[in-house]
Structure 1
Amino acid sequence: MALAVAERRRQDREVVPPAPAKDRYRWWGPLAVALFAGVLRLWNLGYPHAFVFDETYYPKDAWSLWEQGYESAWPDNANQLILGDPQVIPLSHAAAFIAHPPLGKWIIGLGTHFWGLHPFGWRIAVAVLGTLSVLMVARIGRRLFRSTLIGCVAGLLLAVDGLQFVMSRVGLLDGVSAFLVLGAFGALLVDRDRTRDLLRAARAEGGLAADRIGLGLRPWRLAAGVLLGAACAVKWTGAPVLLVLTVLVLLWDQAGRRAAGARRARRSTLRRDLWPAVLSMPVAALAAYLLSWTGWLATSGGYGRHWADDRAGLSPDSVLGIPLPQVSMSWVPAPLRSLWHYHAEIWGFNTNLHSPHTYQSNPWSWLVQGRPVSMYWEQLQPGQRGCTASGGCASQILALGTPFLWWTACFALAYALYRWFFRRDWRSGALLAAVAAVYLPWFQYQERTVFSFYMVVLVPFLCLAVAQMLGAMLGPAGSTPSRRRWGAAGAGLIVLAIIGCFAFFLPLYTAEVIPMSDWHARMWFTSWI
């Protein structure tokens, strides 16, 4: 009897409405939040008129890709020439070694293609993706928690996160990665709801229907695979996310079959769902990834493009000066072998990057924003650029997540862990899986030069976790009016505190010229300086 009750409860947890109930705000609410985020991100986007942090690399690589299909080397005075006169482009046809795949730079280059090689041009594409990420979070939160209000709160939290705001206003790759990973997560949620419709019908049939049913063509899962392949084509940090979400999809399929009454849910999943999942996730991702290298493959001037022309193997000639035997792989086209060798060099560079940097930090400190990255800094004397303070002024872009949001997210993750471990809440499990896929791989690089702004990919999932906790504070719909009022007051105060914190730090996100005394007032910890 106890086992039957436990099984019934497990099935009840899995059988949820296929989609949130429709309401008049299901699109207007998320669109309003996205509009607010878009105004913030696009306002004065071309300021500062300078290369911000690693913008000294990616916009120039993006311009090269759009002009000739591969990244070029640039002269030492290229920055001054570009910023002094956008019409003077000192493009070289000499190839340069680049440590990241090309897709993110193709996307950044879309803006420079239409608006030219100047700050607004190389920032606009990332700003648009950052704004769309807010819209996606609001819609994903609505689908995940079956509440338009909670979804819009999650979108609002993302709109006022300082790290996501800063990374949406600079021409770096990480904002592009964040958009693609989030899009894949959302696509898998849609796929989950649609497959639950099929499994619900199988449950109604009874018998062995849930074991035998095929889940058919799943275009949303295929879209997720393509998006994750695209994320890998921006930065290889998308690979762990691809692995974790592929496993997560199979676990969802198994749980869905069990909830629908399957007698051998695990066996049915392995027989009917494993290979379709592999084809629509890792295989589709690989195809999307290779497609991003089309420019390098189709042209002849890219770095290492002809490495394999006079070789029959794949491996480098030597490692650390030690000759390596060459295995004949002449049946593989030379461009693909050259690409493999290029990837070996990229891997070696990225895993052995130990050059000290002032703003590098350890992953242990990232969730509490222990060491944010200063991406732009200028100290001004009285009279310069409108500075009227006798003690001088500062203009800075600090990649700092809104502190109150990130500190609240630490509690929200603990709450999600409780919900998943003790209540078997699949929503909490999905968020924790995404967090683990993005965050945990960095801990294996304790000695590598890494930066806290890499966590911009994590921010949407932190906002969803906080929104889930705030929804729990609000209480279920059947709660007493008093319980709902107190819960709404507590949740509202947290949201207002986060918005106020963002407004307080906004000058440090936009390089506003402020007195040095105001700048010092915002340096809450010495590790932020």
Structure 2
Amino acid sequence: MLRRPLPLALLLFALAEALFLFRLSVPSIFVFDEVHYVPAARTLIALTGPANIEHPLLGKSLIAFGMLLFGDTPFGWRVMSTLAGSVTCVAIFATTWLVTCRRRPSLVAAALTLLGFTLYVQARIAMLDGFMLAFLSSAIAMMAWTLRRGGWWRWIAAAVLLGLAVGCKWLAAPYVAFAAAAFILFKRADPRRFPGLPVWLALAVLGIVSLLAYFATFAPAFFYQVEPLTLARLIPFQFDMFERQTQVLPAHAYQSNWWTWPLLIRPIWYLYEPVDGTQRGILLIGNPLIMWGGLVAVAACWIGWVRNGSPRLFAAAWLWTGSLAIWAVIPKSLGFYYYYFPSSVFLAVPLALMLDHWRSRWRHIDLAFVAAALALAIYFLPVLSAAPLPDGGAFRYWTWFSTWV
């Protein structure tokens, strides 16, 4: 039983942050979508006018904050992303602890989060997805805490975090509905859950508070020198964003369908070129052991829930399933593997739960799994961290399949 998780959570945060910060300024050029978001952050710093209006402002504001603190440098562009990645790791640890109340599976979940590759890559690039997931995973942990202990302040905090997640990317919006549905299901199954929170009042607070938090993220736009936002324009501006979000885009070499992402069919090379005096590469790919093993764990959670109705197995399975199901209905003309980022991180929870369950038969299966995941992380590290590569054909060492090239 883990009675005092805070010291361990702080240690995990420090370890994750040290990992993400190491050689953060390499490469010194824009990587992948940094070409969009760093200029947008510069515009926010100067408050010159609208830029990159297809996305809300919060993620770009956080990139700008890092640049204000550390300068318009690669380190300044990316430093806030490292904090978001560390928060995500701790949030997965906290969620697993709140579900199990045990140290071992919680630490396994945190380790698998760090070793899953996708968090490491996204925590070292100035993109919006890492900020969205930090707020989203924190909201999930806060909801789990509310489920266990009740209390209006926890529920309100979860609603604020959900609103801020949507303020980074609209992809987080369906999770507000997921939160409402989860509240209703768990409360009906056992009225003692969410103590002190009546259903309709809790749902009203969730909707109103998350919406207010979302709209608050547009505050900098009211101070633009050109085309400043106004209260009258705030709602119509959302429709302008929607038009940008749903526009038909030309075909892309790295596009892929949502159902291919769990199978790891088409990862993305964020970078592969000579830079800073040598050949370097950054491949956004999930750890094959965790990505494929996680699918087995999700299936086992669903089977376990059908057999015994375990709420925690249902929650763990739905966390991944729901995050992927969004893409089956979302109106996007193109899909890319980085859209799978939240789902890839959420796999750590069902994996930790099932590995802990399977320990009754195979005593050290969880440690063996983490060790194997670590071995793969060391193997792939050169093309996760933009380390110097021997030559332009070095990618062959890591591209196991032709679709990975």
Under a length normalisation based on structure 1, what TM-score does the superposition of the two structures give? 0.72
**Counterpart for residue 131 of structure 1:** 86
The answer on 1:435 being equivalent to 2:316 is: no
**Counterpart for residue 42 of structure 1:** 21
Give the CA deviation at 1:345: 2.0
Query: Structure 1 CA distance, aligned partners of 2:193 and 2:326?
Result: 32
The answer on 1:498 being equivalent to 2:383 is: no
Tell me if structure 2 keeps the 8 A contact 1:29–1:148: no
Give the CA deviation at 1:298: 4.4
Give the CA deviation at 1:356: 1.2
1:147-296 matches, within 5 Å, as: 147-195=102-150, 218-257=152-191, 273-296=198-221
**Counterpart for residue 351 of structure 2:** 466
**Counterpart for residue 78 of structure 1:** none
The answer on 1:297 being equivalent to 2:222 is: yes
The answer on 1:113 being equivalent to 2:68 is: yes
Structure 1 SS opposite 2:3: coil
Query: Which of 42, 50, 57 is the equivalent residue of 2:36?
Result: 57
Which deviates further from its counterpart, 247-256 or 432-441? Answer: 432-441
Distance 1:408 1:193, change over 3 A: same
Per-residue CA distance 1:427-446 (angstroms, 9 max, x = gap): 12222332233221111258
Query: Structure 1 CA distance, aligned partners of 2:274 and 2:326?
Result: 37
Tell me if structure 2 keeps the 8 A contact 1:353–1:448: yes
1:474-513 matches, within 5 Å, as: 474-475=359-360, 483=361, 486-488=362-364, 490-513=365-388
**Counterpart for residue 256 of structure 2:** 361
Query: Structure 1 CA distance, aligned partners of 2:2 and 2:388?
Result: 47
Query: Structure 2 CA distance, aligned partners of 1:21 and 1:240?
Result: 32
Query: Structure 1 CA distance, aligned partners of 2:161 and 2:192?
Result: 29
> Any stretches of 5+ residues in structure 1 without a counterpart?
1-19, 69-92, 196-216, 261-267, 306-334, 387-393, 476-482
Structure 2 SS opposite 1:48: coil
**Counterpart for residue 205 of structure 1:** none
> Any stretches of 5+ residues in structure 2 without a counterpart?
none
Give the CA deviation at 1:140: 1.9
Tell me if structure 1 keeps the 8 A contact 2:49–2:221: no
The answer on 1:385 being equivalent to 2:340 is: no
Residue type of the alignment partner of 2:259: W
**Counterpart for residue 521 of structure 1:** 397
Give the CA deviation at 1:96: 3.6
- Structure 1 runs of 4+ with >4 Å offset: none
**Counterpart for residue 454 of structure 1:** 339
**Counterpart for residue 352 of structure 1:** 247
Tell me if structure 2 keeps the 8 A contact 1:137–1:154: yes
Give the CA deviation at 1:462: 0.6
Distance 1:336 1:27, change over 3 A: closer
The answer on 1:398 being equivalent to 2:283 is: yes
Per-residue CA distance 1:271-329 (angstroms, 9 max, x = gap): x72322223211101000111111223446247x4xxxxxxxxxxxxxxxxxxxxxxxx
Tell me if structure 2 keeps the 8 A contact 1:377–1:395: yes
Structure 1 SS opposite 2:363: helix
Paired-residue identity, %:
25
Tell me if structure 1 keeps the 8 A contact 2:117–2:377: yes
The answer on 1:66 being equivalent to 2:45 is: yes
Query: Structure 2 CA distance, aligned partners of 1:440 and 1:356?
Result: 23
